[in-house]
């Protein structure tokens, strides 16, 4: 019988998913060790370190299903060694060629590289699930971006916000986690096959080439030097898992609180048959939310254990190393449960806008004290207005009077605000600041993506409709007269981005690369094919996608500047680009019936702003 919640048949699905358990299973762990042994043998066979025939025999027999796990376990217990019995089992399968198994390698080469292979598989699941969570958050943020809800600080109502705004804060956080995961791929998924103390001495002069060849076969990066004693790769990945878990736990805890009977603004998905209590039949408990939040603390403690492993004795030791064996599978498995459960909760979340509005009015207008204060500040000054509204707020609370009545009865207030104006100021639905605009800003990034060939027909339709005014002016931009083949080439050869709204493509912009087939005039990334669906004009979308393209140029291409071009005789495009920080750098006749004027913009990271 199992003795850990991860594997208990009755509990395991609360603590992990079958897919993630499979990745960290004993069978897959051993198979990854065999995969490394096979890749090493094939590399050594290619370089003549061992016979090619022996390498092929080793690779053929490096299958976990061919060995007896119980026998390996028994031999390991006798040998007091974690890998030697595995090596002997593979050797036995290979007959005389088994003498060449594990030729020159050390245990940590095989185990570390095998762990990275497992982590790479886990990463694919984590990244995919996290993107799905982001997608569900985006749907809810869009739907409820104008739905007012009480914003709370220190557990108390503070000011109105919107439910979509709350979700967009989390969505922005999740998107940063996605960027973190993608950013660490090259560093993390790096193997190591360097021998006893990492010097390749046992491999001879071709050691580094053998390592590179073997790791290439495994789909891993090659380290610049042995990392047996450098555990930062795994510690970094674990730290990001901790951040992701923290976000999911925070979201679940927030929903848990909003689901309280006294607040009752949201509820996790419910279906008849779900039991809240064995003794209180009426209860509809936040079981899923508790499950999500409960896993963050174990993950963070296990992340700490992995970080403790950063301190290593000399070139390597097993004391710190084995902490990773315990903690890394656990945090990946626990996180898989959090991700799946969070996605399920978001897909079926019961949102209660009427209760949100009820709670906004619970304090009889006190929630809008700030708004009243600033209305009075125009006449009395901010600090004086603050003192006055503080006194009136405390009076309303202590004497259990409606805030509106207290304001109307006050002579100082009445000199500036009449009863009608006070009533307007106390409407929480009209004091949302820039909440909706900030939600849109987050969502624009969420729906801004690289085009693929399957987008070609939709992109052609959008482009031709958007460029109709250009054709009417007799300007012969390539985009204005595009056909399907040209659009496909455009997608393939450039960084072509599209912006979607409710599943429909509404805008596009492309970045031509300096090393591509159509470089710009100054050896810099060059923007082109900027188009907005005519049905979505005059909403600032063109400015939004231009800013997003500039951000990509800074963050992804690390370029200090960008260029673009337009027709000199276009009535307003040159002025528009100049208003966005572009300056003219020259003109050229490209033989298209008009003179092209080129612009450049300096893109210092601190100055790239989003016009959204």
How far, in Å, CA of 309 to CA of 316, rounded?
11
According to DSSP, the residues that pair with 496 across neighbouring strands are: 510
Which one of the listed residues 154, 282, 314, 400 is annotated catalytic?
A: 154
How far, in Å, CA of 362 to CA of 244, rounded?
34
Burial 546-569, CB ≥16 within 10 A → b, else e: bbbbbbbbbeebebebbbbbbbbe
Contact 159, 366 (CB under 8 A): no
Contact 611, 540 (CB under 8 A): yes
Q: What number of other Cβ atoms are within 10 A of residue 309's Cβ? A: 22
Contact 604, 584 (CB under 8 A): no
Contact 352, 264 (CB under 8 A): yes
Q: What number of other Cβ atoms are within 10 A of residue 521's Cβ? A: 17
Q: Which pair of tokens denotes residue 596?
A: 């092209």
DSSP, residue by residue, 74-123:
HHHHHHT-SSHHHHHHHHHHTGGGGGGTT-S--HHHHHHHHHHHHHHHHH
Instruction: Give the chain's largest Cα–Cα span.
Output: 102
- Told to judge if 294 belongs to the known catalytic residues of this protein, a careful annotator would answer no
Q: Nearest-CA neighbor of 335 among 306, 287, 305, 296? A: 296
Which one of the listed residues 22, 53, 74, 277 is annotated catalytic?
A: 277
- Told to judge if 543 belongs to the known catalytic residues of this protein, a careful annotator would answer no
Q: Which residues are catalytic?
A: 154, 277
């Amino acid at each position: 019988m199992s003795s850990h919640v991860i594997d208990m048949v009755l509990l395991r699905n609360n603590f992990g998913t079958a897919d993630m358990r499979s990745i960290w299973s004993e069978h897959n762990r051993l198979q990854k060790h065999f995969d490394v042994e096979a890749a090493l043998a094939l590399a050594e066979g290619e370089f003549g370190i061992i016979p090619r025939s022996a390498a092929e025999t080793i690779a053929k027999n490096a299958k976990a299903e061919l060995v007896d796990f119980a026998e390996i376990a028994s031999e390991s217990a006798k040998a007091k060694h974690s890998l030697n019995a595995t090596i002997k089992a593979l050797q036995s399968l290979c007959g005389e060629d088994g003498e060449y198994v594990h030729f020159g390698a050390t245990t940590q080469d095989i185990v570390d590289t095998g762990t990275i292979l497992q982590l790479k598989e886990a990463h694919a699941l984590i990244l995919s699930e996290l993107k799905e969570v982001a997608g569900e958050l985006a749907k809810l943020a869009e739907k409820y971006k104008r739905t007012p809800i009480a914003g709370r600080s220190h557990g108390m109502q503070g000011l109105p916000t919107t439910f979509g705004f709350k979700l967009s804060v989390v969505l922005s956080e999740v998107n940063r986690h996605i960027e973190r995961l993608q950013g660490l791929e090259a560093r993390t998924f790096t193997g190591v096959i360097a021998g006893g103390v990492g010097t390749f001495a046992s491999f001879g002069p071709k050691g580094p080439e053998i390592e590179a060849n073997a790791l290439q076969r495994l789909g891993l990066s090659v380290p610049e030097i042995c990392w047996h004693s450098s555990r930062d790769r795994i510690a970094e990945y674990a730290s990001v898992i901790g951040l992701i878990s923290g976000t999911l736990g925070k979201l679940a805890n927030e929903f848990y609180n909003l689901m309280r009977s006294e607040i009752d603004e949201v509820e996790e998905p419910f279906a008849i048959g779900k039991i809240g209590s064995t003794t209180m039949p009426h209860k509809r408990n936040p079981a899923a939310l508790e499950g999500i939040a409960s896993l963050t603390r174990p993950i963070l403690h296990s992340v700490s254990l992995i970080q403790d492993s950063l301190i290593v004795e000399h070139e390597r030791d097993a004391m710190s190393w084995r902490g990773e064996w315990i903690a890394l599978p656990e945090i990946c498995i626990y996180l898989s449960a959090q991700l799946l459960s969070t996605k399920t909760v978001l897909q079926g979340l019961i949102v209660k806008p009427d209760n949100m509005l009820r709670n906004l009015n619970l304090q009889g207008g006190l929630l809008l004290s700030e708004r009243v204060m600033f209305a009075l500040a125009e006449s009395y000054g901010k600090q004086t207005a603050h003192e006055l509204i503080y006194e009136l707020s405390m009076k309303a609370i202590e004497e259990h009077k409606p805030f509106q009545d207290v304001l109307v009865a006050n002579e100082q207030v009445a000199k500036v605000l009449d009863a009608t104006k006070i009533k307007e100021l106390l409407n929480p639905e009209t004091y949302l600041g820039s909440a909706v605009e900030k939600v849109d800003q987050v969502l624009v990034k969420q729906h801004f993506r690289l085009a693929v060939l399957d987008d070609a027909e939709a992109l052609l339709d959008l482009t031709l409709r958007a460029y109709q005014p250009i054709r009417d002016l007799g300007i012969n931009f390539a985009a204005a007269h595009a056909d399907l083949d040209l659009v496909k080439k455009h997608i393939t050869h450039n960084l072509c981005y599209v912006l979607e709204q409710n599943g429909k493509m509404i805008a596009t912009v492309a970045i031509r690369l300096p090393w591509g087939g159509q470089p710009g005039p100054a050896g810099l990334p060059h923007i082109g094919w900027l188009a907005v669906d005519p049905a979505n004009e005059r909403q600032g979308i063109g400015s939004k996608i231009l800013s997003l393209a500039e951000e990509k140029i800074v963050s992804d291409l690390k370029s200090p500047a960008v260029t673009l071009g337009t027709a000199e005789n276009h009535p307003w495009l040159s002025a528009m680009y100049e208003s966005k920080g572009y300056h003219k750098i020259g003109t050229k006749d490209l033989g298209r019936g008009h003179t092209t004027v080129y612009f450049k913009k300096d893109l210092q990271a601190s100055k790239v702003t989003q016009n959204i």
